[in-house]
């Protein structure tokens, strides 16, 4: 069923809202606060802060071609990657918003060498959550007007409140996440998140700056016909991955599958969750652990995937069971419709 939400020009924006009214993200957070097992309102406040930062970053991303914020910032991050101006800006906006609202005790980001402690050694501060973020995902796409994203992952700290936050609070296996989500700055801007009770997607009406529940209870189709991988790296992949790619290309039944690769994990994942597909960033002879980072890329996406009835593996074990050892650790990543991931697994085992 389609609901019409008026935009500022009096035109109508159609959102396919399956409910019988236009729930806003703000309302949804309040209504669902009770279903969260450690409900104290703190997590709701935190998701609200992320909602606000997402709107600010959205505003910056949308004017990227108009002001001097595209191109390289001139620095590299700890992983040796060139930082784009928008990487730096998005990082600042998220950290600023979370810091100002005094809502978390620590933040780790792709763009920061080390984690940031926020008043965590002050007895007055009882905040128990840490956030890990990829502020701008797919940043090589910024300059060419292709969709990018933000990814976030939330844990309860394991060390006592009122003591300094430690690395241990960040190096938790993904299965401990209490919430995770992403924002996709695409043809429309969407915020998709889970608190462990399914996955819901909200679309931003930019005219009034409000996110509306447009995609309730998102689920991966059991199988699909899209495979997403950077095939330029093909010769460096393990034989099992090469064989699976060949299987995707063979003519048989519902195959060949379609190849779709944007190069923004968030956007590739989002499309595959809606249409059915598999995303792969395997290890290769040149990048022995793949490229994607466990803590702020793979874990949040794996949590969302599993909550949406999909699967996520590093090729050997479930992503959510990988024990992290470093903040910026990389892992091979295979994620998507359950039947497709299972099929890939068969090839890897052979
Ligand atoms: P980031 O921009 O945060 O560094 O992430 C880029 C990641 C991911 O979004 C994408 O899927 C992948 O890198 C693309 O890598 P290749 O260009 O090697 O395919
Ligand atoms: Mn990324
Ligand atoms: Mn990034």
Residue nearest to atom 11 of ligand 1 (CA): 265
For the Cβ of 328 lying below 6 angstroms from any atom of ligand 1, the answer is: no
Per-residue confidence at 39, pLDDT binned at 50, 70, 90?
low
Residue nearest to atom 14 of ligand 1 (CA): 263
Residue nearest to atom 6 of ligand 1 (CA): 138
Q: Which residues partner with 155 through β-bridges?
A: 130
Nearest to 24 by CA among 214, 304, 187: 214
Q: What's the CA gap between 342 and 345, in Å, rounded?
A: 5
For the Cβ of 267 lying below 6 angstroms from any atom of ligand 1, the answer is: no
The DSSP secondary structure of 40-61, one letter per residue, reads SSHHHHHHHHHHHHHHHHHHHH
The tens digit of pLDDT for each residue in 41-56 reads: 888 999 999 999 999 9
**3-state percent helix, strand, coil for the chain, nearest multiple of 5:** 35, 25, 40
DSSP label at residue 289: T
The closest ligand to the CA of 81 turns out to be 1
Per-residue confidence at 119, pLDDT binned at 50, 70, 90?
confident
CB 15 within 8 A of CB 5: yes
Residue nearest to atom 3 of ligand 1 (CA): 137
Phi, psi of 299 (to 5 degrees): -60, -50
Per-residue confidence at 222, pLDDT binned at 50, 70, 90?
very high
DSSP label at residue 178: S
C-alpha 281 – ligand 2 centre gap (Å): 12
Record the tokens describing residue 92, joined without a space.
Answer: 């600042």
Scanning the structure block, which residue is given the tokens 């509306």? Answer: 212
Q: What's the CA gap between 161 and 208, in Å, rounded?
A: 38
How far from 176 is each of 171, 183, 295, 299, 322, CA to CA, in Å? Answer: 10, 21, 12, 10, 11
**Confidence (pLDDT) at 69:** 64
For the Cβ of 338 lying below 6 angstroms from any atom of ligand 1, the answer is: no
C-alpha 83 – ligand 1 centre gap (Å): 13
Q: What's the CA gap between 200 and 282, in Å, rounded?
A: 28
E strand or H helix that includes residue 212 = strand 210-215
Residue nearest to atom 19 of ligand 1 (CA): 230
In 10 A of CB 39, how many CB atoms? Answer: 13
**Confidence (pLDDT) at 258:** 98
Label residues 279-303 b or e (16+ Cβ within 10 Å = b).
bbbbbbeeeeebbbbbbbbbbbbbb
The tens digit of pLDDT for each residue in 233-275 reads: 999 999 999 999 999 999 999 999 999 999 999 999 999 999 9
Scanning the structure block, which residue is given the tokens 């390289």? Answer: 72
How far from 149 is each of 8, 102, 133, 140, CA to CA, in Å? Answer: 25, 24, 11, 11
**Confidence (pLDDT) at 107:** 97
Our mutation pick for probing the ligand 1 site, out of 263, 297, 300, counting the most ligand atoms within 8 A of Cβ, is 263
Flag whether pLDDT at 84 surpasses 50: yes
Flag whether pLDDT at 311 surpasses 50: yes
Flag whether pLDDT at 302 surpasses 80: yes
Q: What is the mean pLDDT of the chain?
A: 90
C-alpha 146 – ligand 2 centre gap (Å): 14
Phi, psi of 151 (to 5 degrees): -125, 140
Per-residue confidence at 40, pLDDT binned at 50, 70, 90?
low
Alpha helices in 64-130 (DSSP H): 85-100
What pTM was computed for the model? 0.92
Question: Taking the chain, what is the end-to-end CA distance rounded to the nearest angstrom?
Answer: 46
Q: What's the CA gap between 116 and 99, in Å, rounded?
A: 10
Record the tokens describing residue 129, joined without a space.
Answer: 């959550």
Q: What's the CA gap between 211 and 209, in Å, rounded?
A: 7
């Amino acid at each position: 069923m389609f609901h019409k939400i008026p935009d500022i020009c009096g035109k109508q924006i159609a959102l396919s809202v399956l409910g019988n009214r236009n729930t806003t993200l703000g309302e949804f957070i309040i209504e669902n606060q009770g279903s969260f097992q450690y409900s104290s309102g703190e997590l709701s406040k935190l998701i609200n802060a992320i909602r606000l930062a997402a709107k600010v970053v959205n505003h910056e991303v949308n004017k990227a071609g108009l002001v001097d914020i595209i191109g390289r910032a001139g620095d590299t991050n700890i992983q040796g990657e060139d930082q784009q101006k928008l990487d730096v800006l998005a990082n600042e906006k998220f950290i600023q918003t979370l810091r100002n609202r005094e809502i978390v005790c620590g933040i780790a980001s792709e763009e920061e060498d080390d984690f940031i402690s926020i008043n965590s050694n002050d007895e007055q501060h009882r905040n128990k959550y840490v956030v890990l973020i990829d502020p701008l995902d797919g940043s090589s796409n910024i300059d060419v007007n292709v969709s990018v994203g933000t990814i976030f992952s939330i844990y309860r700290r394991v060390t006592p409140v009122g003591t300094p936050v430690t690395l241990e609070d960040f190096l938790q296996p993904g299965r401990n996440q209490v919430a995770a989500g992403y924002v996709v700055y695409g043809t429309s801007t969407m915020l998709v998140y889970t608190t462990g009770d399914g996955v819901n997607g909200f679309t931003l009406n930019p005219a009034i700056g409000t996110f509306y529940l447009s995609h309730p209870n998102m689920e991966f189709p059991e199988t699909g016909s899209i495979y997403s991988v950077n095939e330029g790296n093909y010769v460096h992949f393990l034989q099992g991955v090469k064989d699976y790619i060949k299987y995707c290309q063979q003519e048989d039944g519902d195959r060949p599958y379609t190849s779709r690769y944007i190069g923004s994990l968030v956007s590739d994942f989002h499309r595959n969750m809606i249409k059915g597909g598999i995303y792969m960033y395997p290890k290769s002879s040149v990048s022995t652990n793949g490229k994607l980072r466990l803590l702020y890329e793979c874990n949040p996406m794996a949590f969302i995937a599993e909550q949406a009835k999909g699967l996520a593996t590093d090729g050997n074990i479930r992503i959510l069971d990988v024990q992290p050892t470093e903040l910026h650790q990389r892992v091979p990543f295979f994620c998507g419709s359950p039947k497709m991931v299972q099929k890939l697994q068969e090839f890897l085992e052979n």
